Amino acid sequence: MKTLEIRLSQKKYSISIEKGILGKIGEEIGKIYQNKKIAIITDSNVEELYGKKLIDSLSKNNFKTKTIVIEPGEKSKSLETAKCIYEGLLDFEITRSDMVLAFGGGVVGDIGGFVASTLLRGIQFIQIPTSLLAQIDSSVGGKVAVNLPQGKNLVGSFYHPEAVFIDPELLRTLDKRFLYDGLAEVIKYGCIKDRELFDRLMEIEGQEELFDSMEEIILNCCSIKRDVVERDERDRGERLLLNFGHTLGHAIEKYFEYNKYTHGEAVAIGMYNFTKKSEEMGITEKGATRLIKEIILKYNLPYKMPDIDRDSIIKAIRLDKKNESDNLSIVLLREIGDSFIKKINKDHIDLYLV
């Protein structure tokens, strides 16, 4: 098993990564949690595939469980669903000394963590992320949230789990589009901080080699995010580096009302197009754009800017919730594996678009 320790100002916990860890999860949870009640929050896809395996292992270790199943997909990340989960947890007579277990992709992790952070002013929770995006990104860093009709992740907080358990084997059942979606974020980690990871992704040949390397890849990504989060828990400085490709990506996703591109696809377009422009401006080393295009295509992601009028994109970027009043921070590469944050006036974003 590979383990990463997360050390934050108020809290310490570990991320454990191992193929097949789900089969002995009861034993693992027993090492960090002595009470017996566990409320599982999951979605119907994950429940159908892995619910029994999870419950069997927890029951074998004498845990008393209740499973609350939500509909899969982003629509479930709402206050309405949160209310249903609160009700389910109260029916189970959950107390602050019990445990919530978020078992699913980023949607389940975000809403499960949000509910755990708010019900009874905070119930401890554990994350078992099951999608690649959740295993390398959303389960690390403590951001929990739900969406509002006005926008994504508008209600939330920072609330860290007691532990994260990652089983890379679960990714074998993930729909390919979601696998590539997560790989866009893996590519991002390589671009901003880890040339070796980038090169490794370039070398991998075929699905089996990818799955064979998955434990290592997840460990690399989590450890990059861990380092950044430890230095900037509240997303006010270095953590913005994780936004590489996202300024444009978010604007594209939003423009198409989250229907045309997955998050990872939009981020891939963002990474390529921002780098193309910054290479032309002499900020990024020559050849980086070509490499990014190659890796994006290798993992079945798009790179071409869709046909959107420039004013709409600029408007969407200016409205991004990470902006300050007059400024916005963009992330650029010096070279693959080395990135920096550049604060620019909102009126100058035009210069950085192809």
Pull the structure tokens for residue 305. 């800017």
Residues 85 and 116: beta-carbon distance below 8 Å? no
Residues 106 and 146: beta-carbon distance below 8 Å? no
Q: d(Cα 110, Cα 112) in Å, to the nearest integer?
A: 6
User: What is the closest distance, in whole angstroms, from the C-beta atom of residue 44 to ligand NAD in the complex?
Assistant: 7
Pull the structure tokens for residue 151. 């926008």
User: What is the closest distance, in whole angstroms, from the C-beta atom of residue 140 to ligand NAD in the complex?
Assistant: 7
User: What is the closest distance, in whole angstroms, from the C-beta atom of residue 321 to ligand NAD in the complex?
Assistant: 12
244 contacts ligand NAD (rule: CB under 6 A): no
Q: Which stretch binds ligand NAD (CB under 6 A): 88-96, 129-137, 275-283, 313-321?
A: 129-137
78 contacts ligand NAD (rule: CB under 6 A): no
Nearer to ligand NAD, 46 or 201 (CB): 46
User: x/- string (CB under 6 A) for ligand NAD, residues 134-163?
Assistant: x--xx--x-x--------xx----------
Q: d(Cα 323, Cα 330) in Å, to the nearest integer?
A: 10
User: What is the closest distance, in whole angstroms, from the C-beta atom of residue 63 to ligand NAD in the complex?
Assistant: 22
Nearer to ligand NAD, 173 or 327 (CB): 173
Q: Which stretch binds ligand NAD (CB under 6 A): 82-90, 119-127, 171-179, 305-313?
A: 171-179
284 contacts ligand NAD (rule: CB under 6 A): no
Strand partners, 70: 43
Strand-pair category, 163-166 with 12-17: parallel
Q: d(Cα 103, Cα 42) in Å, to the nearest integer?
A: 5
26 contacts ligand NAD (rule: CB under 6 A): no
User: What is the closest distance, in whole angstroms, from the C-beta atom of residue 130 to ligand NAD in the complex?
Assistant: 3
Pull the structure tokens for residue 207. 């699905």
228 contacts ligand NAD (rule: CB under 6 A): no
Residues 138 and 106: beta-carbon distance below 8 Å? yes
Cβ neighbour number for residue 14 with a 10 Å cutoff = 13
69 contacts ligand NAD (rule: CB under 6 A): no
Pull the structure tokens for residue 113. 């963590």
Nearer to ligand NAD, 26 or 104 (CB): 104
User: x/- string (CB under 6 A) for ligand NAD, residues 30-59?
Assistant: -------------x-xx--x----------
- Strands (E) in the chain, as ranges, are 2-7, 12-17, 37-43, 64-70, 99-104, 124-129, 143-148, 151-158, 163-166, 327-335, 338-345
Residues forming contacts to ligand NAD in the complex (CB under 6 A) are 43, 45-46, 49, 72-74, 77, 104-108, 110, 130-131, 133-134, 137-138, 141, 143, 152-153, 170-171, 173-174, 178, 181
